């Protein structure tokens, strides 16, 4: 079993489809896709009433193969007793064989959808770009029933997940043959995602998400021969008398994540009050042996903070730079460029813009890759879909499954988790993606906290849910 899920661009999928068409009879891939789509729709209908006979499904059908998938699926549903009606948004270019199959099965073409239980979005596929056209946007806006998207939600860019106007927000998206970047970068519009294999032979993915169970299997835990030093000693230079909470959150996360020891360099007295197991010193030079450094949260941006950052970056140890440290690097990028030891930058969108001098733009993956390559560092761009790029490696993404971690101080917690993984000797890209997964899971656990309904959280509860989150992943791995 692979340790990751790959996401493939529209061009990669089209090339794989072209190769598939040389191996199978004409029309077979579309029939496979349509059968999978019809099965998912039938399951959705059954989940509400237990049956499909007598239910009503509407199709919004564009031109090309995506519309053909919807029409063929509609014909299969009609043969199961579902009342199927279809609106052809471009009648002259509607898929002829699919439309004929729908009519033969008893489906009807209409100008506007009437009362239906569910709608299949077959407006545009992976060749579509830009928002929904006005007529389609008007119809979608008028819907008040669940939408099942055919391959991807129409109006959402397949390669970037960008949304710059009206778009479908699906309850379920049925992906054909391969996951596309949209399925990781725009999950709020995709809903639940179901993959229907159609026989594609795909290349190695340039964008991937680590499997949660694989993270659990690889998460560092004490071995029989380990002691507090061999498990990884994390150094944290964060927080100050002005921003005391940042040091508490970063060091607390490192303590909870894996580290055999956490050493703290700074003047935040609350760190020891909260975590007496942390070994504190006033300066970096007095800290003693560490195996990775976390620098930046609440550290300040004055000359003293700049000198401390330079001192940490002058070591041959892995360093995570976050928050105030990123502001310092934006003004003096030469501090990190050309560094031979692993360096991980963890910006949010605003910090990213300061580092690069430009806004992110719609293609976040390309922007993160460009910064990683230019500075020769690992970049973790925070967000609901966190993107991690390292030079010469596949880009990783982590969909948080929600936005519960979007709260002040949350990033300080993430930096501590990441620091502990680097101190344990894990690779920067893997560490960043694994830390993002545990961080997101801890936020979700904190939001629910064993209750049936979620509630907003602050950063402090994240600390108490790091270990339960790690435990969940390790249980998935069976270890």
| CATH hierarchy code of domain 212-477 | 3.40.1190.20
Tokens of 40: 């998912």
Flag whether 129 is marked binding.
yes
Q: Which residues pair with 109 in a beta bridge?
A: 86
Tokens of 313: 């970056």
List phi, psi (to 5°) of 104.
-65, -30
The pLDDT, as a whole number, for residue 259 is: 76
Flag whether 121 is marked binding.
yes
Domain with CATH 3.40.1190.20 in the chain: 212-477
d(CA 10, CA 161): 12
CA atoms 147, 148, 153, 155: torsion sign: negative
The pLDDT, as a whole number, for residue 14 is: 96
Flag whether 298 is marked binding.
yes
Q: Which residues pair with 237 in a beta bridge?
A: 295
Flag whether 385 is marked binding.
yes
- The structure's pTM equals 0.95
**DSSP per-residue codes, 256-276:** HHT-SEEEEESS-THHHHH-T
Flag whether 34 is marked binding.
no
Sequence-separated (6 or more) residues with CB below 8 Å from residue 167: 131, 132, 153, 154, 155, 156, 189
H helix or E strand, kind and range, residue 42 = helix 28-49
Instruction: Say how far residue 324 (Cα) sits from the centre of its chain.
Output: 25
Sequence-separated (6 or more) residues with CB below 8 Å from residue 458: 407, 408, 409
Flag whether 130 is marked binding.
yes
Buried/exposed 213-237: b ≥16 CB within 10 Å, e otherwise:
bbbbebbbeeeeeeeeeebbbbbbb
DSSP assignment letter at 87: E
Flag whether 27 is marked binding.
no
Flag whether 125 is marked binding.
yes
List phi, psi (to 5°) of 352.
-60, -45
Q: Which residue has the tokens 């602050």?
A: 458
Sequence-separated (6 or more) residues with CB below 8 Å from residue 307: none
Q: Which residues pair with 7 in a beta bridge?
A: 207
CA atoms 378, 429, 182, 437: torsion sign: negative
Rg of the chain (C-alpha set)? 25
Residue 127 neighbours by CB distance under 10 Å = 12
Flag whether 65 is marked binding.
yes
Tokens of 121: 């979005």
Flag whether 120 is marked binding.
no
The pLDDT, as a whole number, for residue 48 is: 81
Q: Does domain 4-205 have CATH number 3.20.20.10?
A: no
Flag whether 386 is marked binding.
yes
Flag whether 216 is marked binding.
no
Flag whether 131 is marked binding.
yes
d(CA 58, CA 115): 9
N-to-C CA span, the chain: 16
The pLDDT, as a whole number, for residue 2 is: 79
Blockwise average pLDDT, block size 10, the chain, 479 residues: 90 97 93 97 91 96 94 98 97 95 98 97 93 97 97 97 97 98 97 97 97 97 92 95 90 93 91 94 93 97 96 97 98 93 98 96 97 97 97 97 93 98 97 98 95 94 97 96
Q: Which residue has the tokens 């100050």?
A: 240
**Residues 126, 10 contacting (CB under 8 angstroms):** yes
Flag whether 382 is marked binding.
yes
**DSSP per-residue codes, 191-256:** -EEEEE---------SEEEE-HHHHHHHS----TT--TTTT-EEEEE---SSSHHHHHHHHHHHHH
Q: Do β-strands 83-88 and 233-237 pair in parallel, antiparallel, or remain unpaired?
A: unpaired
Tokens of 59: 């199709």
Flag whether 111 is marked binding.
no
Flag whether 412 is marked binding.
yes
Domain with CATH 3.40.50.10260 in the chain: 4-205
């Amino acid at each position: 079993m692979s340790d990751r899920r790959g996401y493939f661009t529209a061009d990669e999928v089209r090339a794989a489809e072209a190769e598939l068409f040389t191996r199978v009879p004409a029309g077979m891939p579309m029939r496979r896709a349509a059968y999978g789509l019809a099965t998912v729709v039938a399951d959705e209908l059954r989940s509400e009433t237990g049956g499909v006979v007598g239910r009503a499904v509407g199709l919004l059908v564009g031109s090309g193969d995506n519309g053909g998938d919807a029409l063929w699926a509609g014909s299969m549903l009609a043969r199961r007793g579902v009342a199927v009606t279809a609106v052809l948004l471009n009648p002259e270019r509607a898929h002829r064989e699919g439309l004929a199959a729908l009519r033969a099965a008893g489906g009807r073409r209409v100008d506007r959808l009437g009362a239906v239980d569910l709608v299949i979005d077959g407006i545009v596929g992976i060749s579509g770009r830009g928002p929904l056209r006005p007529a389609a946007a008007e119809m979608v806006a008028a819907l008040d029933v669940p939408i099942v998207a055919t391959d991807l939600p129409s109006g959402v860019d397949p390669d970037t997940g960008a949304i710059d106007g009206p778009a479908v927000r699906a309850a379920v998206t049925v992906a054909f043959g391969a996951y596309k970047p949209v399925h990781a970068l725009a999950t709020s519009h995709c809903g639940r995602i179901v993959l229907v294999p159609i026989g594609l032979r795909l290349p190695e993915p340039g964008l991937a998400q680590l499997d949660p169970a694989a993270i659990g299997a690889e998460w560092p835990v004490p071995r029989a021969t380990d002691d507090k030093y061999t498990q990884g000693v994390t150094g944290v230079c964060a927080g100050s008398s002005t921003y005391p909470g940042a040091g508490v959150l970063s060091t607390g996360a490192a303590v909870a994540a894996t580290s055999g020891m956490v050493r703290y360099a700074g003047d935040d007295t609350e760190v020891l009050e909260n975590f007496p197991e942390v070994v504190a010193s006033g300066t970096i030079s007095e800290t003693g042996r560490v195996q990775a450094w976390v620098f930046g949260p609440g550290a300040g941006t004055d000359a003293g903070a700049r000198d401390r950052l330079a001192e940490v970056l002058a070591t041959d140890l892995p360093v995570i730079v976050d928050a105030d440290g990123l502001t310092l690097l934006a003004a003096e990028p030469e501090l990190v460029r050309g560094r031979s030891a692993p360096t991980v930058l963890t910006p949010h969108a605003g910090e990213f813009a300061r580092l690069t001098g430009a806004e992110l733009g719609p293609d976040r993956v390309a922007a993160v890759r460009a910064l990683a390559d230019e500075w020769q560092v690992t970049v973790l761009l925070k967000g609901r879909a966190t993107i991690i790029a390292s030079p010469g490696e596949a880009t990783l993404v982590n969909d948080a499954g929600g936005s519960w971690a979007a709260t002040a101080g949350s990033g300080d917690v993430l930096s501590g988790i990441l620091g502990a993984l680097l101190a344990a000797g894990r690779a920067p890209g893997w560490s960043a993606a694994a830390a993002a997964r545990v961080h997101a899971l801890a936020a979700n656990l904190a939001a629910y906290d064993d209750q049936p309904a979620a509630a907003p959280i602050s950063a402090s509860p994240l600390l108490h849910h790091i270990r339960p989150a790690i435990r969940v992943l390790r249980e998935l791995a069976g270890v």
